[in-house]
Structure 1
Amino acid sequence: MKTTPAQCPFGADQPASTPPLPLHPVGAWPPGPPAGVTGWGLLRRMAGDLLGTLDGWRREYGGLVHLRIWPEHQVVVTEPELVRELLVQHHDALIRWERAVHVFAQIHGHSVLTSEGAPWRVKRQALQPAFAPREVQAFVPDIADAAAGAFARWRGGEKDWPVENGFTSLGMDVILRMLFSSAIDADARLAERAVHDVVVAGNGEMYWPVTPPDWMPWKRAKREGKRVLRELIGRHVQARLATPREHWPEDLLARLLALHLDNPHAWPLQAVRDECMTTFLAGHETAAATLTWWAWCMADNPAAQAAAQAEVDGVLQGRVPTAQDLTALPHVTRSLQETLRLYPAAPLLLTRRSTRPITLGGWQLPARTMFSVPLQLMHHDPRWFPEPLAFRPERFAGDAPAIPRGAWMPLGTGPRVCLGQHLAMTEMTVIAAMFLQRFTAAVPAGMAPPRPAFAITQRPATPLRLHLTART
């Protein structure tokens, strides 16, 4: 199936021009569910089942759904062409939802994730070279070394092996190596718990009108998680600064500190720490969540798993993968792409707000309109993906019917597409190939399919455990 080019799988190139739609009058809104006096009842419905509720409204009202939730006007966009129009053509008229930015900034500081406008552009341009495909390839040996060490500790023959915990620890090891050239240790185990606690707390606070201070007694877990993560990053930064620059390893921290030393005014040490925090959290969580769901898809689809294993065996012949091998593993790549379609790590993009009036799909929408983009609803739309809940990696084969642009974009699109997109795909491909070399996964007898739970990222509601058999 034809998708965006392989060199930029979540690319932000301009869409082809299409004839303009007839304009609705100013002040008119797209159709949507009755809001009542305040619309707060809509919030209650979404709180019970966010994606299910949005999907019902999409089916009833179409690809643009207006929600009047006092004091806001929100438009839910699920039509691929309109999503790209919003995020690509109108990107300079959008900012991220202020409440989400406030919550994230408590952990991430003023990193590229939480910045807007000129500060964001400066950070993005400075960081982009470190995440380019050629630079990312240099990390393949570190990823493979971490995976080999982790899988050596996994036990084949276990009928109830905690694969989710295993991939989470492996993801932590990989990001520590790429960011700090540091292998996993006891501190990393504490960091795993800290990441969980701050993510859960952040998701809960996202929908509060205000954020109570962290010294409140019931926020102890969040408070402790923030302390552990900040101290972990602070120790690595200080240790590196105490080392002569000519002895620094070529990792992401070295590149960030080079920005600081070259321009300390634009890149103070706090900015370096903030970017380390964002790279650490985002780089660890997205890969771990996706690999967890991928393992489930492999276990639940033995034929797809066998095809990917045969490909890995034929290409690698038992050796560790290199950067040059990755393009020779299309079955593995397609299995990851299909996993990202079924279970995007972030099924709902951060809500945007318009800073000026824009026209979208013929609707003239005023400044301060909020826009939500539920990626998973587009990924599960039967118009673009027949039998949308079936795991079918062949959708992404080169000779498959083309996927409409914008219908599949698991890490976003436009200028704010995920900075670590190439890094994530490289990491997951290496780990998936090495897993397939060593294990065959199966669903334990009597196990029901895992239920997704959404807390900023999407994970199984209960930690995933699978039956693993070691391969000879």
Structure 2
Amino acid sequence: MPSSILYFSAAAHANFQRRNDFEPTAFCPSTFQLPNSVRNRNSKAKRHLIRCQSINAEEKKSKRNLLDNASNLLTNFLSGGSIGSMPTAEGAVSDLFGRPFFFSLYDWFLEHGSVYKLAFGPKAFVVVSDPIVARHVLRENAFCYDKGVLAEILEPIMGKGLIPADLDTWKLRRRVIAPGFHTLYLEAMVRVFTTCSERTMTKLSKLLKGGSSDGQKSIELDLEAEFSSLALDIIGLGVFNYDFGSVTKESPVIKAVYGTLFEAEHRSTFYIPYWNIPLARWIVPRQRKFQSDLKIINDCLDGLIRNAKETRQETDVEKLQQRDYSDLKDASLLRFLVDMRGADVDDRQLRDDLMTMLIAGHETTSAVLTWAVFLLAQNPAKMKAAQAEVDSVLGEGKPTFESIKRLQYIRLIVVEALRLYPQPPLLIRRSLKSDVLPGGYRGKKDGYAIPAGTDIFLSVYNLHRSPYFWDRPNDFEPERFLVQRKNEEIEEWAGFDPSRSPGALYPNEIIADFAFLPFGGGPRKCVGDQFALMESTVALAMLLQNFDVELKGTPESVELVTGATIHTKNGLWCKLKKRSDLD
């Protein structure tokens, strides 16, 4: 459940259209040019996965229109000197149309380096694609930054939940919520993951039995939609002990949850915050619907909170972490928060906490599973290796907390999918006071001075696909996380070393020294990272245990759009059939 269901800065998306309006980027075959030093070291590096035609700087300038030129003139006049001396990428307004924004950020990264100023109209931003600088912002100087525009966008939905919370509220809630994700709780949650995943597998088996008409006994369906329903059921049961049952049914609450998710994504990519205009919530149809959806969810959460408090069994946090979860009917995080002695909190704050985890946890897991299957379907040998591991570890049994530890290859597939398709592709921060950012690799030796109020984009997508910190960065290679790697040219980067975080089931920012940030890093890192990773591991293992999966069309036909997460435009349509080697 990454702490950042990230929304692009409204100002940076000055002319971004709504998700349903812009043309998505297809996975089109092309290559990109690396800087000479990198190209000489790795001449075979290519963009094998999300690929997009790159246009060189001169071609871009020649294609700029009057609006682009006016935007850049305005930038130079109003904000050109507000941020310290650093390479500048003049963002053409036309760059915001036709493909996801983070693709443009990647092109500018290759052109201008790991720290550059992005100029759009009257506003300038700092884009960071370097682990040394990311480490400074997220860990070493973390409390000099807040979530900035992200908090402004999310506050009407998540209130003072962990993601948009101000620093003081965050410190209080983090101390209460983090202990809830203890080992015995995660063990209990694996049983929830298995139960919910089993529902999905049963549904798919019934569809296969009743809907197949060809000799291969296969069906075609949108796996992204199935993963979305599965993730919602898991979050409901695991976080607040509510069974949405969305795998097999629809209800007003389920519809309201998805309506709220869509509105959150709409707000992430719409420039003018018209929803803050007085009376907009009553005049604008989609805002009326949003308020109605929010009321349905709030009524549901309020009822759950009220019931939990009526059956409260207050005790110390240490005793809560030693509960016998095997004999506990309600093992939810809400139960833990309500029962914790000394953690009394009003219902509104609990509602904000639950809403944050509902939205953040649902979107991310669905996306991770979608792209893991997309990648495996293009690599049959890796899929067979994954199925062989599942057969060896699970046989015909169900995943358990202990068996997850032995599903090493499945775990690596999940994190490799997160590396190639980070959820979200951007982290947003705003400086609370003036600071000096490190120069990073090949940057200015003395660093870059920034004033208070500077908006920073930490491009997780760029970090995860940087040719400086990863070998063959655009290849799907789950095995890469087992190999120690250090680039001797980069003095301030400790390299990738699995032994740096002993006992960790999944690679993290410590192992990669902030070159890998699937859940952020530092104090405000996501508290539910292990929950999300284990959930994805169980669901993927059970899918591969039962079915063979192929893409319905070509990889290029799977079109990509972004908002809160990286997802598909029209779903991940696959051909599903019973495992051929199980017949």
Bin of the TM-score, shorter chain as denominator length: 0.7 to 0.9
2:283 is equivalent to residue 216 of structure 1: yes
So what's the TM-score if we normalise by structure 1?
0.86
Q: Corresponding residue for 1:356?
A: 433
So what's the TM-score if we normalise by structure 2?
0.70
Determine which of 459, 466, 471 is the counterpart of 2:574.
466
User: Which SS does the other structure have where 1:364 is aligned?
Assistant: strand
2:217 is equivalent to residue 166 of structure 1: no
User: Which SS does the other structure have where 1:382 is aligned?
Assistant: coil
TM-superposed deviation, 1:69: 4.1
With over 3 angstroms needed to count, the CA separation of the structure-2 counterparts of 1:272 and 1:341, relative to structure 1, is same
Determine which of 460, 466, 473 is the counterpart of 1:375.
460
Distance 1:344 1:466 in 2: 22
1:131-176 Cα offsets, whole Å, 9 max, x none, are 2345322211111011111210113444421211111111111111
Determine which of 414, 418, 441 is the counterpart of 2:549.
441
Q: Corresponding residue for 2:269?
A: 204
For residue 283 of structure 2, what is the amino acid of its counterpart? M
8 Å CA contact retained: 1:29, 1:365: no
2:150 is equivalent to residue 100 of structure 1: yes
Distance 1:96 1:422 in 2: 23
Q: Corresponding residue for 1:345?
A: 423
2:387 is equivalent to residue 309 of structure 1: yes
User: Which SS does the other structure have where 1:33 is aligned?
Assistant: strand
TM-superposed deviation, 1:192: 4.7
Distance 2:570 2:136 in 1: 37
Q: Corresponding residue for 1:144?
A: 194
Distance 2:464 2:203 in 1: 35
TM-superposed deviation, 1:243: 4.2
Distance 2:141 2:348 in 1: 31
User: Which SS does the other structure have where 2:577 is aligned?
Assistant: strand
Larger Rg: 2
TM-superposed deviation, 1:377: 1.4
1:264-314 Cα offsets, whole Å, 9 max, x none, are 4xx111111111111111111111111111111121211111101100100
Distance 2:85 2:295 in 1: 45
Q: Corresponding residue for 2:258?
A: 193
Distance 1:125 1:357 in 2: 28
With over 3 angstroms needed to count, the CA separation of the structure-2 counterparts of 1:172 and 1:27, relative to structure 1, is closer
Distance 1:364 1:256 in 2: 42
8 Å CA contact retained: 1:343, 1:458: yes
Distance 1:158 1:233 in 2: 40
TM-superposed deviation, 1:370: 1.4
8 Å CA contact retained: 2:160, 2:166: no
Alignment length (residue pairs)? 438
User: Which SS does the other structure have where 2:221 is aligned?
Assistant: coil
Q: Corresponding residue for 2:243?
A: 183
Determine which of 297, 306, 329 is the counterpart of 1:229.
297
Determine which of 367, 379, 384 is the counterpart of 1:289.
367
With over 3 angstroms needed to count, the CA separation of the structure-2 counterparts of 1:134 and 1:241, relative to structure 1, is closer
For residue 135 of structure 1, what is the amino acid of its counterpart? Y
User: Which SS does the other structure have where 1:408 is aligned?
Assistant: coil
8 Å CA contact retained: 1:88, 1:414: yes
User: Which SS does the other structure have where 1:160 is aligned?
Assistant: strand
For residue 461 of structure 2, what is the amino acid of its counterpart? Q
With over 3 angstroms needed to count, the CA separation of the structure-2 counterparts of 1:158 and 1:239, relative to structure 1, is farther
8 Å CA contact retained: 2:180, 2:337: no
For residue 546 of structure 2, what is the amino acid of its counterpart? R
Structure 1: state its 5+ residue gaps: 1-9, 11-24, 35-40
2:178 is equivalent to residue 128 of structure 1: yes
Distance 1:207 1:326 in 2: 45
8 Å CA contact retained: 1:90, 1:358: no
For residue 334 of structure 1, what is the amino acid of its counterpart? L
8 Å CA contact retained: 2:236, 2:244: yes
2:306 is equivalent to residue 238 of structure 1: yes
1:2-23 Cα offsets, whole Å, 9 max, x none, are xxxxxxxx9xxxxxxxxxxxxx
With over 3 angstroms needed to count, the CA separation of the structure-2 counterparts of 1:448 and 1:263, relative to structure 1, is closer
Q: Corresponding residue for 1:37?
A: none
With over 3 angstroms needed to count, the CA separation of the structure-2 counterparts of 1:206 and 1:229, relative to structure 1, is farther
TM-superposed deviation, 1:373: 0.7
Q: Percent identity?
A: 26
With over 3 angstroms needed to count, the CA separation of the structure-2 counterparts of 1:332 and 1:451, relative to structure 1, is same
Distance 1:329 1:62 in 2: 38
Q: Corresponding residue for 1:321?
A: 399
2:337 is equivalent to residue 256 of structure 1: yes
For residue 357 of structure 1, what is the amino acid of its counterpart? S
2:109 is equivalent to residue 58 of structure 1: yes
8 Å CA contact retained: 1:132, 1:422: no
With over 3 angstroms needed to count, the CA separation of the structure-2 counterparts of 1:210 and 1:242, relative to structure 1, is closer
8 Å CA contact retained: 1:205, 1:211: no
Q: Corresponding residue for 2:500?
A: none
1:31-69 Cα offsets, whole Å, 9 max, x none, are 1024xxxxxx64553355411221121112111111244
Q: Which moved more, 1:455-464 or 1:41-50?
A: 41-50
8 Å CA contact retained: 2:240, 2:332: yes
Determine which of 161, 165, 179 is the counterpart of 1:115.
165
Distance 2:282 2:82 in 1: 47
8 Å CA contact retained: 1:72, 1:370: no
With over 3 angstroms needed to count, the CA separation of the structure-2 counterparts of 1:397 and 1:142, relative to structure 1, is same
Distance 1:109 1:454 in 2: 23
TM-superposed deviation, 1:340: 0.5
